[in-house]
Amino acid sequence: MTHSVPLYLDGEFVESQAHRSIANINPATQLTLAQVPCTTFEEIDRAIASAEQAFKDWRDVPVPERARLMMNFCQRLKDQQDDIAETLSQETGKIFADAKGDVWRGIEVVEHACNIPSLIMGETVENVARDIDTSSYLQPLGVCAGITPFNFPAMIPLWMFPLALACGNTFILKPSEQDPLTPMQIAEIFQQAGFPKGVLQVIHGDREQVDHLITHPAIKAISFVGSARVGQHIYRSGTDHLKRVQCMTGAKNHMVIMPDADRQQVISHLVGSSVGAAGQRCMAISVAVFVGDSVQWLDELKDAMSKVKPGLWNEEDAGFGPLISGAARQRVLGLIEQGKEEGADCLLDGSGFTHPDYPDGNWIGPTLFADVKPHMSIYKEEIFGPVLITMHVDSLDEALDLINNNPYGNGTSLFTNSGGAARHFQRNVLVGQVGINVPIPVPLPFFSFTGWRQSFYGDQHAYGKQAIRFYTETKTVISRWFHHGEEVQRPNLTIQMR
Ligand code: NAD
């Protein structure tokens, strides 16, 4: 009998009274790790009520004290990062080095949240009119909610609640039902860090729980990361209920390769950024666009990709792990078949890969397509598997047209040795995160994560200064102090010219 993943409710880890649960399965071995309860609505309401209550005091905790608690949390995360990464590997299948990266990129956001006294500073102007000053303050909103995807179960929850809390809000997290053990381990570390009870709550479930949470009147802001389909639903539903919403969604990231680029760098970076983490990264390169003669490097690319083997999280020679679920594997296999049927040239087919010791795992080997056209399903859909598709164009402008006509705008990169080409590309591409000879351009947390077009719905992005804006309301105070005995003017009935 596997254990039920607890809720983190009102400062305690408690068993849910849920009538329905979802199995949390190791994607390599297929062993059930735990049962994920679909939290009852009554429990969700209790979590929200507790977070509302906690907000009353938390908003008044001095900012340096909030920062100190965050520093304590951050140090504990650093001390236990390998343990968290091991849990993460077990439930996602990620190889250990990659799991450690997932945890570390989250810790970097907590480090950023420790800077809250500087980040939350408002603005002041003295003497905007005679004897009158104006100041602005950033004040917390109240109870915020976060809904996170399966592919970064440490990093993405840490994109959200540390910054929301540092700003003085309280937070309800609904992690992915496919890998909730990692965020629960983080919640345990959070509890040990000494925060007041109720400032963070964790509930579990799927669509039903999310819909109840995001339409609840007490929720002021919603952060979502996941697929575009669900992100659109959450954005519409959240804004219909007059909430502030940010949705970081799906992607189709192109890497453009100019003939003057460094060939070996291109091959190495293309392999790592396409099939790393089994292609289950929102910033994975899923389309390689060869310009002119660089297309001759395809054979070498195929050779390099064929050497990468999927494997277990702790196998030394494993390049990446299995897909998250049997359903995800079936979906990707379906798209590979569709690619072949629609006329793309499958140079390397990983559909038949199985691990000799774990044949039931959700394995797919590296897969490479050439001659892909924009109308094909493998170009139009986010595949989210270890599948790289390649296209050939004659010029950089043709590559730019292709990218700018794709509905997504999360990340892109250009490999070249020409400064002129790089500048033209970075200035004209309609994508929010651009790498020049950098395949996966994910900004560090003092910048923001800035997907564009259908990769993002909202206006303030995740982390960086924009997250501080997202999790706060600006209050402007205009003040004037009268001098003792100052002459009282006649009532003024007009707008004054200064
Ligand atoms: P998903 O959209 O299936 O699930 C994300 C979250 O939404 C989960 O917590 C899930 O329980 C919940 N959910 C699922 N269906 C729902 C519904 N109908 N109504 C309400 N809630 C629902 O995404 P996923 O498969 O877990 O994650 C992969 C996706 O996330 C990919 O599309 C990837 O590109 C995207 N992603 C984007 C970013 C980014 O920053 N842009 C980062 C990571 C992942």
Look up residue 239 and give its two tokens.
């804004």
Active site annotation includes 282? yes
For ligand 1, whether the C-beta of 230 sits within 6 Å is yes
Atom 24 (ligand 1) nearest CA: 149
* 3 state SS of 391: strand
Query: Cα(183)–Cα(158) distance, rounded to whole angstroms?
Result: 9
Query: Cα(398)–Cα(383) distance, rounded to whole angstroms?
Result: 23
Atom 39 (ligand 1) nearest CA: 248
Sheet holding 12-14, edge to edge: 12-14, 7-9, 200-202, 170-174, 143-147, 219-225, 244-248, 456-457
Strand pairing partners for 368? 348, 388
Residue 493's pLDDT is 85
For ligand 1, whether the C-beta of 239 sits within 6 Å is no
Instruction: Determine contact, residues 267/304, Cβ cutoff 8 Å.
Output: yes
User: How many A from CA of 14 to the centre of ligand 1?
Assistant: 26
Residue 497's pLDDT is 63
pLDDT, averaged in runs of 10, over the chain (498 residues) = 92 98 97 98 98 98 98 98 98 98 98 98 97 97 98 98 98 98 98 98 98 98 98 98 98 98 98 98 98 98 98 96 98 98 98 97 98 98 98 98 98 98 98 98 97 98 98 98 87 75
Residue 27's pLDDT is 98
For ligand 1, whether the C-beta of 233 sits within 6 Å is yes
Query: Cα(232)–Cα(212) distance, rounded to whole angstroms?
Result: 16
pTM passes above 0.75: yes
| E strand or H helix at 146 | strand 143-147
Q: What is the DSSP string of 243-277?
A: -EEEEE----EEEEE-TTS-HHHHHHHHHHHHHGG
For residue 360, count other CB atoms closer than 10 A to its CB: 14
Residue 485's pLDDT is 86
Euclidean distance between the first and final Cα of the chain, in Å?
75
Residue 4's pLDDT is 97
